[in-house]
Structure 1
Amino acid sequence: MSTRAPHVSAAEAVQAHLRERITAGELPPGNRLVDTALAEEYGVSRHTVRDALRLLGADGLVRSVRNSGSSVRSLTAADVRDIYLVRRLMETAAVRQSAHADDGLLQDVERAATTVEQYARAGAASHVGTASLAFHRSLVALAGSARLNAFYDTIAAQLRLAFAVMPDEGEFQLQWVALDRQIADLVVSGRRTEAEARLLEYLYESEGLVVDGIRAAERAG
């Protein structure tokens, strides 16, 4: 049986890189995605870029309108509620599954929480959100499922689009730094029930704030 990694097409490679840029906050909602410019940037054909944009559309990250082009999606309050429902299911299940996780995955959780704290201490608020998303991905990784990890990559990018509507995203992100650390410490020490409870509190509170932010932006718009 072959153990080679699955082939990744040029379109999938462009899709993955654009998704990473969305997750990092480099491509905010409404940002135009021009196929000619992207083709030149990535050294691929316009057809390849269009295929990548179609894939991102299927991921819920890009909106394409015939004869008008493509842009990064703006999320609705309903989108956010659905995303947080998925987060609660995935992240809490992974925390429960951490009883079977190897030490390397637990060390990844510890390192990810430390990275969040380092950016916060440096005052790099724009990087705190990206690091926090990576921390939560490290929680999902505790389940030991490559498919869950891949799915969460899309969820993380969608979350960054939701966070972009907050009046002060930096301030919004900084309030979770201590909670990320608390959850990491509970998980690493094997206190899974407490970690799950704290994580649920975190996710419900975060969801409420993001939904309020989106509704405020819709009223202002």
Structure 2
Amino acid sequence: MPDAPRGSAMSSDSLITDGSALAERVYRGVLRRIIVGELTPGSWLKERDLSERFEVSRVPVRQALQRLETDGFVVTTRNKGASVTPVTRADVEELYDARLCIEPYATRHAAQRVHSGAASADRLRELLERALAPGDTAELGESNLGFHLEIVRLSGNRILERSLRPMLGRMQWIFGITHATREQEHAVEHQQLLDAIVAGRGEVAAAQAYAHIDQGREPIIEALAQALDW
């Protein structure tokens, strides 16, 4: 059997790459609209509307919606379609519990790796400085959550990093709903975390990470209860 023409194979590869890029563009665009509050919990996401908005076919739209569902931002109802996931108290409790399982452990290992020279804390310092600089609430939230993700990256555990990334995306979404910030508290606590990590004080850093996350739970739940009329 003759080989397939070289040109057709290249065209197929190109189509796959282009399709992935289109799905990524739709994913990021819809995710941004969810996080900033343009699409509120319960809003319907119609494939035709999204296809027209992003000027793509329905295939990348479906791929993007499937990924958003995997990440917890979208829920699909049979015979109805996709909508933005409702936020419940149970969801938020589970989100905080999951973070408490991952982040203190990762912080301990980040401190060990930074202190031994296996990893650098330069990016952590940069994110902390960015959070302290004047800016809007969205930028502040991104820097704060980026600080948490960078700590997990410094742990060297890529599975934990991949697990935490969508969780922090959901936290950014929650901050957008509530407009709740603890700017001064976050700055002080992040500086303490950074100092403990650089000093190689793994157990102290892990305990600080746990307290930092847990202390933010109730204020967020109270703010969500008001914003969403729980």
TM-score (norm 2): 0.76
Map Cα deviations across residues 110-130 of structure 1 (whole Å, 9 max, x no partner): 222222112xxx142231111
Matched, 1:25 2:36: yes
Work out whether residues 107 and 209 of structure 2, in 8 Å CA contact, stay in contact via their aligned partners in 1.
no
SS state of the match for residue 75, structure 2? strand
Report the aligned-residue RMSD: 2.9
| TM superposition shift of 1:22 | 6.1
Matched, 1:56 2:68: yes
Counterpart Cα distance in 2 of 1:47 and 1:9: 10
| TM superposition shift of 1:151 | 1.9
In structure 2, relative to structure 1, the CA distance for the partners of 1:135 and 1:25 (3 Å cut) is farther
Work out whether residues 37 and 176 of structure 2, in 8 Å CA contact, stay in contact via their aligned partners in 1.
no
Query: Which residue of 206, 215, 218 corresponds with 2:216?
Result: 206
Counterpart Cα distance in 1 of 2:220 and 2:65: 26
Counterpart Cα distance in 1 of 2:171 and 2:33: 9
SS state of the match for residue 9, structure 1? helix
For 1:1-221, what aligned pairs fall within 5 Å after superposition?
9-10=20-21, 13-14=24-25, 17-18=28-29, 21=32, 25=36, 27=38, 29-30=40-41, 32-66=44-78, 68-98=80-110, 99-101=112-114, 102=117, 104-118=119-133, 122-166=134-178, 168-169=179-180, 171-173=181-183, 175-218=185-228, 220=229
TM-score (norm 1): 0.79
Runs of 5+ unmatched residues, structure 1: 1-6
In the alignment of these two chains, the number of paired residues is 209
Counterpart Cα distance in 2 of 1:182 and 1:22: 33
SS state of the match for residue 165, structure 1? helix
Residue equivalent to 1:3:
none
Residue equivalent to 2:8:
none
Work out whether residues 196 and 202 of structure 2, in 8 Å CA contact, stay in contact via their aligned partners in 1.
yes
Counterpart Cα distance in 2 of 1:113 and 1:123: 13
In structure 1, what residue type is equivalent to 2:197?
Answer: V
Work out whether residues 74 and 84 of structure 2, in 8 Å CA contact, stay in contact via their aligned partners in 1.
yes
Counterpart Cα distance in 1 of 2:30 and 2:126: 23
Give percent identity, aligned residues only.
23
Residue equivalent to 2:11:
none
Work out whether residues 75 and 161 of structure 1, in 8 Å CA contact, stay in contact via their aligned partners in 2.
no
| TM superposition shift of 1:20 | 5.7
Runs of 5+ unmatched residues, structure 2: 1-16
Counterpart Cα distance in 1 of 2:106 and 2:164: 12
